[in-house]
Amino acid sequence: MVLRIAFLLLGVALIFAAPATVIATTLVASDFSVNDEGWRVGTLFSNTDATIVPFYLTLNNGVIETAGLTPFLAFEAPAKFRGDESAAYGGSLEFDVRIAPFLTQPGDRPLVVISDGTTFLQFRATTPPLFVFVSFDVPLLASAGWQLANGSGAPGPPATEAQLQAVLGSLKWLRVEADWNSDPIAPDDIATDLDNVRLVSAVGVPEPASIYLMAVGFLIVGVGGTAVRRHRAYVRGRVSGKRRVMPVLLRRAAHGTRRCAHDRAFGGLTRIIGDGTVGRRPTHRAGFRFGFRRQTGR
């Protein structure tokens, strides 16, 4: 029994020891390994679709690039990133950016702008380091810092979760900042590269190792539980069996004792009342009366 309980405890320990790490579920992605995948260049707060085709570079296994003098220059996502992206709420928008300007303007600015065609929401970030790819992971929760945008690039009031959900549910534009120098008196010819864009859901899938450990744990718990239940059933069966068998044995023993006493009594009467010969002993079923008549001849 102790071994069975230890078996159960081992299974429970394996279940709780399984890593909680999950593999994020990618809803849509662009890695630019072949071409620009339909991305275009426009401006962050425009009410029309972007039309400028970005430069496609084969470096870093494929990236897109833009440069220009347009304020609020931005990369605009293609149709596969649009529509109902409600599943992304609570997840994140991930991408890599590299900037290589002659001069940057420090401070924070809109990094991402999304819109359903009516409401514009922005997520701000500080200027990244120069000449290296920097990975951004933008949480798709309003409480993470999303703001209502008025088109000026200035900070806006906090967005609500309902507003963010509404925009993601009917996403028309998703744009990533490509202009990291908005100073009107400074050169604005900035090269910005974009790579590895992913829209990730909030629900993840456990890693294979976690699934394996949990499966083994549940298997051990199941086997151990079955063994314990069988052991308990066996013990109950033995106890209930004894309860059924013992009364029968006791009744048989008592019956045998009474029968022996009965036979001895009739035997004594036969020898006393009879003609001195030993008569047949009465059967148990015959009873005292019939046996007595048989022996005495009455």
Contacts of 276 (CB under 8 A, 6+ apart): none
Q: Are strands 92-99 and 73-76 parallel, antiparallel or unpaired?
A: unpaired
Residue 56 has pLDDT above 80, yes or no: yes
What is the rounded CA–CA span in Å between residue 282 and residue 286?
A: 6
Residue 139: what pLDDT? 98
Q: What is the pLDDT of residues 174-188, one digit of tens each?
A: 999 998 875 544 555
When pLDDT is averaged across residues 70-88 and rounded to a whole number, the result is 94
pLDDT level of residue 21 (50, 70, 90 thresholds): low
Residue 190: what pLDDT? 73
Task: Find out whether 295 and 266 touch, Cβ atoms under 8 Å.
Answer: yes
Which has more confidence, 205 or 96? 96
pTM of the model: 0.63
When pLDDT is averaged across residues 121-149 and rounded to a whole number, the result is 95
Count of Cβ atoms closer than 10 Å to residue 268 Cβ: 10
Task: Indicate the DSSP class of residue 154.
Answer: S
Phi, psi (degrees; rounded to nearest 5) at 196 = 50, 60
Least confident of 33-47, 120-134, 138-152, 206-220: 206-220
Task: Find out whether 222 and 4 touch, Cβ atoms under 8 Å.
Answer: no
Tokens of 159: 């967005």
Q: What is the pLDDT of residues 217-275, one digit of tens each?
A: 445 445 455 555 665 665 565 545 545 545 554 555 555 555 555 455 544 444 434 44
